[in-house]
Amino acid sequence: MSQWINNSVFYHIYPLGFCGCPEYNDGKTEYRLDKLKEWIPHLKKMGVNALYLGPVFESLKHGYDTSDYYKIDCRLGDNESFKKLCGELHANGIKIVLDGVFNHVGRDFWAFKDVQKYGSNSQYCGWFQNLTFNGRSPYDDPFWYEGWSGHYDLVKLNLYNQAVVDHLIGAVSMWMDEFGIDGLRLDAADCIEPNFFRALRRFCKNKNPEFWLMGEIIHGDYNRWANPEMMDSVTNYECYKGIYSSHNDKNYFEIAHSLQRQFANGGIYQNLCLYNFLDNHDVNRIGSTLRNPAHLKNVYTLMFTMPGVPSIYYGSEWAIEGMRTRESDQMLRPCLDLNTPLAKTHSLVPHIGMLSALRKSFPALCTGKYENVMIRNEQLVFKRFTNDQTIVVALNISDSEYWLDFQISGGSVLTDVLTDGSEYRVENNHANVMIPANGARVMLLNNGDFNFRDFRERTENDYQAEAVSNAQMESSNAQDNDSEAQAAQPEQTAEAPHTAPAEPERKAKLGKYRCYDGSMFAVIALAENTDDHEPAIVYKDLFNNGYIYVCSAKGFLEDIEVDGRKVRKFEYVDED
């Protein structure tokens, strides 16, 4: 098992959609994937430290129809640009996992085109599954071959052929050496010859023992593919379905049964770190699947606190919607840009960031054992625990707050570390806890010696340090861009005058502020932008889990129009 995976938070991108690439490869090299550099601060804000990129290698259409395993798709860039991108991701502490599509290739794959050209005289006839010259293909080739799942634009490879295996493993070797990738997600893993995975594992682990192999498995016993001889992990489709349907049906018994079956003492996957997700490039967006948007935070809380590694599909941190149709998956794979308005009605970024911080702070959430504590239709309580630590997770999908009575042992106090630090006494191994409507509590079991304020300050300091690091990186990128732009301009005969930044109309100060919508915040620091030295404000949400925000002083102190009149966006509250 790769040790880094237990502490990972994944972000999954389908690159060809994310970058708005043309549907068909036009042969023109465009460095579209470079825009991912702009997203690095956003990823770090959510605590993401691992990136799973869908197909990036040359293909004709959607990426899963590979034409060259040794070349980056020209719609995304080239090998050199991708190498630089991988370097930036690694420099920011983000692991890289690529899509290994080894079950099939596209009809533009060079070896298949050789068969089309030379027929039975081609030396590559044995590279493809069940290729014969006793008939014609649905594309009217003068030969027959096996298409994956009846799709004849996807030509199934013959993985019993050693030359094919050598070609594929040679490509993996190049990806590891040139790009420094940290793992592979194996497409259609249930259709692939097991001996190929054994050979792939031997090669990868000998080259890098920490290299991670994860397979796409929809049904069946995951232990068939995730074991010491083949892969480290697989996609947890069982819990994917259980998470959204248990919320839609208000039936926590469904997901509790799967979690108990998989991970509790005696569970069939208790020794695996499965890949958990709420949506991906093949299934409907969670923003479309959930019937009640009020349950969005709870589904993320559940995914981040259950055993396994959590993954966010790009754009779903804003709960954007998307449904697949019989004709197209395009709605699941949109082009997104941080500089254009996104569907932020249900922005989950701060919530996801806090959940990531909890995983970072409490080992029980990453490697602890699992046990159900209480199950009701609309409430679920479970615990994650190690020898030294116990975390209790309580979820409520009722539209009203709910007081839960349950048995718990090993401490005298439950402290909510997700929201407000509320404490609940444990007496005679018995607790009575209030769970907010459509909400959750993640609680540390302790003996009254846990200081929530210190914990939250440490978390906020880490967050602010990360924000400063991100700002510095953005400033450096901006300066690099400015230098490039200046180099492209003709030499100026006179230096442009420097204009000092204008002072904001009002001066901010530390203390409480009331937002125009009635919510309360506390300004906790006065800062400045490292790029242009404009004043900035660091402030904390006093109502919503203590989230930390940073904005310009001008934006914080400005007037806005509400119902036809101008009001202050934030009004200082004199506590005296």
At 393-443, the pLDDT tens digits run 999 999 999 999 999 999 999 999 999 899 999 999 999 999 999 999 999
Question: Span 109-138, mean pLDDT?
Answer: 98
| pLDDT attached to residue 494 | 37
| pLDDT attached to residue 488 | 42
CA dist 293 and 312 (Å) reads 17
In this model, does residue 498 exceed pLDDT 50?
A: no
Sequence-distant (≥ 6) Cβ neighbours of residue 339 within 8 angstroms? none
For the ranges 355-369, 502-516, 521-535, the maximum mean pLDDT occurs at 355-369
> Higher pLDDT residue, 491 or 443?
443
Per-residue pLDDT tens over the stretch 273-332: 999 999 999 999 999 999 999 999 999 999 999 999 999 999 999 999 999 998 889 899
pLDDT band at 463 (very low <50, low <70, confident <90, very high): low
| pLDDT attached to residue 565 | 74
Q: Which helix (H) or strand (E) holds 52?
A: strand 50-53
CA dist 379 and 319 (Å) reads 23
User: Which of 325, 330, 324, 232 has its CA nearest to residue 275?
Assistant: 232
CA dist 2 and 205 (Å) reads 10
> Higher pLDDT residue, 471 or 514?
514
CA dist 132 and 164 (Å) reads 18
Question: Span 521-527, mean pLDDT?
Answer: 83
CA dist 148 and 537 (Å) reads 55
| pLDDT attached to residue 534 | 82
423-427 and 413-416 strand pairing: antiparallel
What is the residue type of 217?
I
Question: Span 55-80, mean pLDDT?
Answer: 98
| pLDDT attached to residue 446 | 98
Structure token digits, residue 523: 């300004």
The alpha-helical segments, DSSP class H, found in 175-306 are 194-207, 237-248, 252-263, 286-289, 296-305
Determine the angle formed by the axes of helices 296-305 and 349-361, rounding to 10 degrees: 20
Sequence-distant (≥ 6) Cβ neighbours of residue 273 within 8 angstroms? 1, 5, 6, 232, 233, 307, 308, 309
Per-residue pLDDT tens over the stretch 352-382: 999 999 999 999 999 999 999 999 999 999 9
Per-residue pLDDT tens over the stretch 204-240: 999 999 999 999 999 999 999 999 999 999 999 999 9
| pLDDT attached to residue 475 | 47
Q: CA of 178: how far to CAs of 45, 67, 70, 71, 174, in Å?
A: 28, 20, 11, 12, 6
| pLDDT attached to residue 542 | 72
In this model, does residue 169 exceed pLDDT 80?
A: yes
- Domains for the chain: give ranges and CATH numbers: 3-101+160-361 (3.20.20.80), 104-158 (3.90.400.10), 364-452 (2.60.40.1180), 500-576 (2.30.30.320)
> Higher pLDDT residue, 123 or 491?
123
In this model, does residue 155 exceed pLDDT 60?
A: yes
* C-beta separation of 369 from 339 below 8 A: no
In this model, does residue 344 exceed pLDDT 80?
A: no
| pLDDT attached to residue 340 | 74
Per-residue pLDDT tens over the stretch 242-264: 999 999 999 999 999 999 999 99
- Would you tell me how many other CB atoms lie within 10 Å of the CB of residue 72? 22
pTM to 2 decimals? 0.82
Structure token digits, residue 128: 């493809």
What is the residue type of 319?
A
Min mean pLDDT across 54-68, 362-376, 416-430, 545-559 is at: 545-559
- 238: exposed, middle or buried (Cβ count in 10 Å: 0-12, 13-18, 19+): buried
Counting residues of the chain whose pLDDT is more than 90, the rounded percentage is 75
Structure token digits, residue 87: 């370097």
